């Protein structure tokens, strides 16, 4: 197990030092602030900064350390087992707790989650949803607390999770390598400075880090008071239905995420811009596999809805193409 909390705050790469990747960073902040969002799945090739982003979350919220599940972990490492050495020494049955137990009240990060056996992914997702799991071993039957924020990452080129498992993640974000020369040069510069002197580098971003921590703590204080206007709620549901997504998790997650984004931005009411930012992330991994492999932006979501409406019209008896049939944008509800 790798526990980012074993490093001091001054040696963890600062979240505010990350270059670009604004969509992914916002999704991560929303997820760690509100457990009801049910975590984030980061999609992208190796070397795009996914793990660095997740590790940098340590310390942003009080006691929210990042615990990593090592690649290749087996069931005993994840769930726990009998502590044979202690049992023999004391004569009493003793449990060696697994990573799910140690992740209680923390952020659990699983890299290459798509390569884990399905039954382990099921157990982890169930624990993330219920805040507990059951350990059944010879002589042991225990319900163990495991309340954590789940963040997974995967390289789609190495295979996908089953749709039923994808649906259990609240948000999904495509993370690509930066395309601007200036951005990539800045990544190198910051990585080099951090490698040479982590504490000195972290000190350069301490003011920004402190400001972000304060902002998140203030948002956490009134998150429960944030309102979702009825007209925006109905519009979210309409758009979910228009792209033929049946799971209720889509709108539940989108609305929770929009409310959390509003809180982070110091507002007690969701605005249309919050919906535009969060709805594509809640729908990204709930589309068909071919569509899921491409980043879903707001413009693409509108196009998808438009194409669905056009297909519906074409299926009506007596339909004829019209030069006046034009794409309509998804307007802000009145």
Positions marked catalytic: 249
Find, among 283, 281, 272, 289, the residue nearest to 329 by Cα: 272
- Residue 133: alpha-carbon gap to chain centroid: 21
Look at residues 138, 41, 155, 146 and name the one whose alpha carbon lies nearest to residue 95: 138
Beta-carbon contacts of residue 275 (< 8 Å; ≥ 6 apart): 232, 235, 236, 254, 258
Please check whether residue 5 is in contact with residue 58, taking contact to mean a CB–CB distance below 8 angstroms: yes
Q: Kindly tell me the burial class for residue 90, based on how many C-beta atoms sit within 10 Å of its own C-beta (0-12, 13-18, 19 or more).
A: exposed
Note whether 82 and 95 are within 8 A (CB): yes
C-alpha to C-alpha distance for 239 and 302, rounded to whole angstroms: 9
Specify whether the CB–CB gap between 36 and 86 falls below 8 A: no
Closest among 112, 150, 105 to 128, alpha carbons compared:
150
Edge to edge, the sheet with strand 171-174 lists 2-3, 66-69, 107-110, 149-154, 40-43, 171-174
Three-state secondary-structure class, residue 266: coil
Cα distances from 236 to residues 90, 138, 199, 229, 286, in angstroms, run 58, 48, 44, 11, 15
């Amino acid at each position: 197990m790798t526990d980012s909390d074993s490093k001091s705050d001054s040696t963890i790469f600062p979240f505010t030092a990350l270059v670009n990747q604004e969509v992914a960073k916002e999704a991560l902040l929303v997820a760690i602030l509100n457990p009801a969002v049910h975590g984030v799945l980061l999609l992208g090739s190796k070397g795009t900064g996914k793990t660095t982003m997740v590790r940098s979350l340590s310390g942003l919220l009080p006691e929210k350390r990042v615990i990593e599940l090592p690649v290749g972990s087996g069931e005993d490492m994840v769930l726990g087992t009998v502590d044979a050495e202690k049992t023999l020494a004391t004569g009493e049955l003793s449990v060696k707790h697994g990573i799910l137990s140690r992740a209680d009240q923390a952020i659990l990060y699983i890299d290459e989650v798509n390569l884990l056996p399905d039954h382990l992914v099921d157990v982890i997702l169930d624990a993330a949803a219920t805040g507990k799991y059951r350990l059944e071993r010879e002589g042991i039957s225990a319900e163990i607390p495991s309340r954590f924020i789940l963040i997974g990452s995967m390289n789609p080129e190495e295979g996908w999770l089953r749709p039923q498992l994808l649906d259990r993640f609240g948000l999904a974000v495509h993370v690509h390598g930066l395309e601007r020369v200036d951005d990539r040069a800045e990544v190198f510069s910051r990585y080099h400075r951090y490698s040479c002197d982590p504490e000195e580098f972290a000190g350069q971003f301490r003011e920004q880090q402190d400001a972000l921590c304060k902002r998140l703590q203030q948002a956490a204080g009134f998150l429960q008071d944030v309102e979702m206007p009825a007209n925006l709620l109905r519009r979210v549901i309409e758009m979910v239905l228009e792209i033929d997504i049946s799971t209720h998790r889509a709108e539940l997650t989108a609305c929770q995420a929009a409310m959390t984004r509003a809180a982070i931005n110091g507002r007690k009411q969701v605005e249309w811009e919050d919906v535009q930012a969060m709805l594509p992330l809640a729908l990204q991994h709930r589309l068909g596999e071919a569509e899921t492999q491409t980043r879903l932006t707001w413009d693409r979501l509108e196009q998808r809805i438009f194409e669905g409406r056009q297909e519906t019209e074409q299926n009506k008896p007596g339909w004829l193409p019209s030069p006046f049939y034009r794409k309509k944008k998804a307007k802000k509800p009145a």
